[in-house]
Amino acid sequence: MSQFGTKKCRRRADAGGLVHLPPNSDFLSCKELVLPWLSPLELANVSGTCKVLSRACASITQRRSLDASRGLEKFSIPFVNSIDPVPYSYFHYAPSQLLHSLDRQPWGSIGGRPSLPDSPNHLYFETVSDSVTLGCSCERCDNGRSCPCLRLDGLEGMDAECGPNCKCELDCGNRLTQGGISVKLKIVRVAGKGWGLFADQPIREGQFICEYTGELIMTKEAQRRQQVYDQLARRGHFSSALLVVREHLPSGMACLRLNIDATRIGNVARFINHSCDGGNLSTVLIRSIGALLPRLCLFSSKYIGQDEELSFSYGESRPRPVSDSSLCFCGSSFCSGSLPSEHT
C-alpha cells in the first residue's frame, strides 16, 4: 500500500499501528472501486492499514452479508448468522452455467451490478447449430398448453420450455425457469451443518426455486477436482459442491453427463443441504428447443413454510474416506450417516 501514501502519512500512526492517510490519498479516492474486488483475506489485510480503510472494509463486509447474489437476482439474498462471527461465505456468483472460472468479481459495491464475461443466459442460449432454426412462432404460448416446443415434454425427469429462437418474450408462460430466482430466500448458519438455504417467505408446492449453476467441466477435470476435494475434506472443514447429473437419452442406450462444479462459482443452490429422505425439493432437467444443454432446476415438492430449510437428495451413497465433511447431519429418520458421493 506504500505506493499510495506519502512519507508524511507513514509517520502519522496511532498507538494501535493504524496509519492515518489524508482524505485526498490516491487509494482513498478510489477505495469503493478497488475494495469490492478483494477476497476476505485481502480485505482483512487492507483493513489493518488505517482507520479510514478499516471503516470502508467493514462497510464492504456488511454489504456482502446483505446480498449473496451481488444484485444479480430479483431479491437480495442475505446471510444470517447467530452461531459464530463469520459474516458470509465467499464465492463468485453466476446466475447461469459458465464454461470457465472467474478470477475476480466485485462484491459489496455501492449500487450497480457486476458484469460477467458471459451474459446470464449465454450458455443456456447456445444453439445446437447456427444453420438450424428451432423455435415456436407463438406471440404468447398460452402457458405452454398449445406451444409446439412442448413436444419434448413428457420424457422421464425432463421438462421442456421455449428456447433462444422462439418469438415469445421472457414473460411467456412457457419460460418458467428463465427469469432467475423469484422467491425470497436467505442463507442461514446452522450449528453442526454450516450454511444452509432457507425460505424467507411461504412457498407453494410445485414452485420454481432456482437453477443449480456453476462451472460446466469435462469428466476428466471433474475426476481430478474430486480427488483434490476429497483430500481437503480429510483435513476437515471443507465441503465441495460438485454435482454430477446424468440425462438418459430416449433410446436408453446412452446418457449425457453434466459435471456442475459450484465450489468456487455458482448461485445460492450451492448452499442447499442434502436430506436422506429426499427433502422438500425435487430436481428437474429443463430442455429448450434449440438449446445445446439441459439445465438442472429445483422445484418445491411440497408446501414450504417461512424460515424452513430447503433440501434435496444428492443421490445414492458410496463408501468414501471418513471426514467431518462426509458425515450427514440431515437429521431425518432415514439418515444413512454419510453424504452421497458420485463414482467419478
pLDDT tens sequence across 165-178: 888 888 888 888 98
pLDDT confidence of residue 57: 94
For 236-272, write each residue's pLDDT tens digit.
777 788 998 887 766 666 678 899 999 999 999 999 9
The rounded Cα 183 to chain-centroid distance in angstroms is 15
Using pLDDT thresholds of 50, 70 and 90, give the confidence band for residue 130: very low
pTM for the whole structure: 0.82
The answer to whether residues 97 and 13 belong to one domain is no
Residue 233 lies in a domain: yes
Task: Express as a percent the part of the chain with pLDDT over 90.
Answer: 40
Q: Is 61 contained in some domain?
A: yes
Residues 194 and 62 in one domain: no
Co-location of 101 and 50 in the same domain:
no
22 within a domain of the structure (yes/no): yes
Closest CA relative to residue 151, chosen from 292, 320, 287? 287
Task: Say whether both 293 and 219 belong to one domain.
Answer: yes
* Residues 237 and 95 both lie in one domain: yes
pLDDT, averaged across the chain: 79
Q: How far apart are CA 309 and CA 248, in angstroms?
A: 30
- Strand-strand pairing, 255-261 and 242-248: antiparallel
Task: Tell me if 53 is assigned to some domain.
Answer: yes
Domain membership of residue 248 as a residue range: 90-107+114-120+180-326
> Residue 273's Cα: distance from chain center in Å?
13
Region of poorest pLDDT, from 105-109, 205-209, 229-233, 295-299: 229-233
> If you average pLDDT over residues 107-116, what whole number do you get?
76
**pLDDT for residue 147:** 79
Categorize the per-residue pLDDT at 142 as very low, low, confident or very high, splitting at 50, 70 and 90. low
What average pLDDT does range 92-97 have in this prediction? 92
C-alpha cell at 45: 489485510
Read off the CATH number of the domain in which 277 is found: 2.170.270.10
CB atoms within 10 A of CB 238: 16
- At residue 196, the 3 state secondary structure works out as strand
Same domain, 233 and 292: yes
Tell me whether residue 191 is in a domain: yes
Q: With bands split at pLDDT 50, 70 and 90, how would you rate the model's confidence at 44? A: very high
Q: How many CB atoms lie within 10 A of CB 200?
A: 19
- The DSSP call for residue 269 is G
Residue 159 within any structural domain of the chain: no
pLDDT at 123: 40
Q: Which three cell numbers stand for residue 63?
A: 454489504
Tell whether 45 and 95 lie within a shared domain: no
Spatial distance between the Cα atoms of 125 and 123, rounded to a whole number of angstroms:
5
Co-location of 100 and 238 in the same domain? yes
Task: Dump pLDDT digits (tens) for 225-237.
Answer: 988 988 887 777 7
Which is more confidently placed, 5 or 110? Answer: 110
**Res 12: pLDDT:** 46
Q: What angle do CA 25, 31, 37 make, to 5 degrees?
A: 145
94 shares its domain with 26? no
pLDDT at site 7: 36
For residue 136, tell me if it sits in a domain: no
pLDDT on residue 251: 60
Residue 333: helix, strand or coil by DSSP?
Answer: coil
Q: What percent of the chain has pLDDT over 70?
A: 73
| Statement to judge: residues 103 and 45 lie in one domain | no
Q: Do 100 and 55 have their domain in common?
A: no
Rounded Cα gap, residues 190 and 80, in angstroms: 10
Tell me the one-letter amino acid at 330: C
Confidence (pLDDT) at 3 = 42
**Which range, of 41-45, 115-119, 173-177, 306-310, averages the lowest pLDDT?**
115-119
Angle between helix 51-66 and 40-47 (nearest 10)? 150
What is the model's pLDDT at position 170?
82
pLDDT score for 25: 57
User: What does the radius of gyration of the chain's CA atoms come to, in whole angstroms?
Assistant: 23
pLDDT value of position 118: 45
Query: Tell me, what's the pLDDT at 246?
Result: 81
Same domain, 294 and 235: yes
Q: Is 161 inside any structural domain?
A: no
Number of domains in the chain: 2
